Structure 1
Amino acid sequence: MTRNDTRLGIWLMVTTTFIFSMQDGLSRHLAETYNVWMVVMIRYWFFAAFVIAIARRQAGSVRAAARSAQPLLQAFRSTLLALEIMVMVLAFVFLGLVESHAVFACYPLLIGALSGPVLGESMGWRRWLATGIGFLGVIIVLQPSGGVFSPYAAIPLLAALMFALYGLLNRYVARKDDAATSFFWTGTVGAIVSTAIGAWFWETMTGSDWILMAMLCVTGALGHYTLIKTYEVAEAGAVQPFAYLQLVFASALGLVVFGETLRPNVVIGAAIIVAAGLFTFWRERKARSA
């Protein structure tokens, strides 16, 4: 049962972004110490168990939750998310949290740009202009310090593109499947895909790092739980802009814990990206209400 409590929804979204930021920090540390593929695999094992438990509670049984009118599409979008997570964690290792999240913040702009070919939605000239300005912000973020663009800069941009397509496919599958079904496929297929990759890269972990891995798994499940609760108590339009706080929290973690630097062009570019994203979101909300 849903209710409309905007203030509670905002606080839940802020909490969710903080939890996901801590998850990103743990992912970066563990992926630097071991490898990306194994870390994501173990994380997905716990996530799959969490998803199955939620599905049994919401749908009544695992079989009911797995029943889909579009299984191939569900499998594809779930695989896409698992691969996107691996790409993004790889970006944390090579670029750090600050610059990775600054570039990744453009994914709402990519959703708008791809909504036409994927969903058949139209986008006005104002939103196209905002999208263009947002990508100018991406270029500013990626401004090379030595005169040559690092190939690593493409990693978070690829992750943003993959996540944008995943977000659009979420809208598409929602036309025939409910949220419980999509959530079930996300966790179970993601666990299968990540295991098929990560099992080849197993490394022995120390006891203390297993504790950090357990914290990573818990934050992943907790973050998804608070996100579910966020959309249960408030409208998406009221809370979605606060999702950009993950950029702030993750950047602060990168600066304080990992000793990353905050270049002026990253601040300016990220500000442009966020402003363009908020404008695009506002225009989409206004168009839908009209």
Structure 2
Amino acid sequence: MPTDRTLTEINLPLAIATICAGVAFLVVNDAIAKLLTERYNPVQIIAIRNILAVPMIAAVVLAISGTAGLRTRYLRVHALRGVLMLVGAFFYFSALTVLPLAEATALVFSAPIFITALSVPILGERVGPWRWAAVLVGFAGVLVIVQPGGAAFQPASLMVLGTASCYALFMMMARFIGRDEGLWTMMLFAVGFPGLYALPFATAVWVPVQTADYALFAAIAVLGSLGITLIGQAFRLAPAAVVAPFDYTALIWASGVGWLIWGDIPGGWTVTGASIIIAGGLIILWREGMQPRP
């Protein structure tokens, strides 16, 4: 990460455009997955998507690192991250069968809140009062959207929070992977293990794939891989404090796509809660930027 360079030495427009494109690809990926959940079980969608993505990523690994890139010294860590990725994706795709895309996207923004809270017991990090305050702010935003006990409460919202917590743990487990391992190798195992785990469950609920849907499955395999890659690349092009706030453009994309396809318009509670969650995330990001780096 280019923390030792000044902003004038960094191609900021390229970094911002890269993360915005990556976020847009992931939102479209989620929208297509939501369409597919109307005809297929979420675990079948995960299995097909990941199985299609593995050879594409493996081809990139071979082109960049050769056969050495297909090996890892952190197989157990990848195996555990695969479980987290599978469970998180299953929760999210299941929730999309009920929730509007914008609302689900807004709740996923709570992931940085979970990362901060879980970093204390898992990584032994010290979290100061500012970041704990940000956790409480973000949690308040979640309550605004979910409205537990209210007439508008939907249990599927809790599944998205489960996705956010799985994603937080997935990201934190990356700390146990050495820097000697390449990004594409990490991606290969991050896609391969969930696909492997999902396949036995998918066979139990398998529905023959309609011919027209093959293109949709191929699209989510490509868009999901591209989205994650571009977002990761953006954080390599510029400091996190510069590019991370643009991750929240996902809510704009999700609102637009949700309106175009399903006619969904985010309600006032969703917009208010998302704004509060984003505020909490930005506070955490700001405090991270204040910490001294070796």
TM-score strictly above 0.5: yes
Which one of 178, 185, 188 corresponds to residue 184 of structure 1? Answer: 188
Cα deviation digits, residues 131-169 of structure 1 (max 9, x gap): 101101100001259547332221101110100111111
Q: Partner of 2:57 in structure 1? A: 51
Q: 1:172 to 1:251 in 2, by over 3 A?
A: farther
Q: Partner of 1:34 in structure 2? A: 40
Which one of 16, 20, 23 corresponds to residue 17 of structure 1? Answer: 23
Q: In structure 1, list runs of 5 or more residues that go unmatched.
A: none
- In structure 2, C-alpha distance between the alignment counterparts of 1:124 and 1:146, rounded to whole Å: 33
Q: Partner of 1:134 in structure 2? A: 138
Secondary structure of the corresponding residue to residue 150 of structure 1: coil
Q: Partner of 2:5 in structure 1? A: none
Which one of 262, 278, 282 corresponds to residue 286 of structure 2? Answer: 282
Q: 1:80 to 1:104 in 2, by over 3 A?
A: same
Q: Partner of 2:247 in structure 1? A: 243
Q: Partner of 1:233 in structure 2? A: 237
> How many aligned positions are there?
288
Which one of 107, 113, 117 corresponds to residue 113 of structure 1? Answer: 117
- Residue type of the partner of 2:163? A
Q: Partner of 1:216 in structure 2? A: 220
1:63-74 alignment runs, 5 A limit:
64-74=68-78
Which one of 244, 259, 262 corresponds to residue 258 of structure 1? Answer: 262
Cα deviation digits, residues 90-144 of structure 1 (max 9, x gap): 1111212122112111101111111111212111101101110110110000125
**Deviation at 1:206?**
2.4
Cα deviation digits, residues 61-103 of structure 1 (max 9, x gap): 1xx2243333212210122112211211111112121221121
Percentage identity across paired residues of the two chains: 28
Q: In structure 2, list runs of 5 or more residues that go unmatched.
A: 3-8
- Residue type of the partner of 1:34? Y
Cα deviation digits, residues 13-58 of structure 1 (max 9, x gap): 0011111111010000011222211111111012111221122123
1:101 equivalent to 2:105? Answer: yes
- In structure 1, C-alpha distance between the alignment counterparts of 2:148 and 2:87, rounded to whole Å: 27
Q: Partner of 1:6 in structure 2? A: 12
Secondary structure of the corresponding residue to residue 194 of structure 1: helix
Q: 1:101, 1:251 within 8 Å by CA — same for their partners in 2?
A: no
Q: Partner of 1:79 in structure 2? A: 83
C-alpha RMSD over aligned residues: 2.3
Q: 1:184 to 1:217 in 2, by over 3 A?
A: closer
Q: Which has the higher mean CA deviation after the structures are superposed, 271-280 or 173-182?
A: 173-182
Q: 1:231 to 1:50 in 2, by over 3 A?
A: farther
1:161 equivalent to 2:165? Answer: yes
Q: 1:251 to 1:225 in 2, by over 3 A?
A: same
Q: 2:62, 2:70 within 8 Å by CA — same for their partners in 1?
A: no
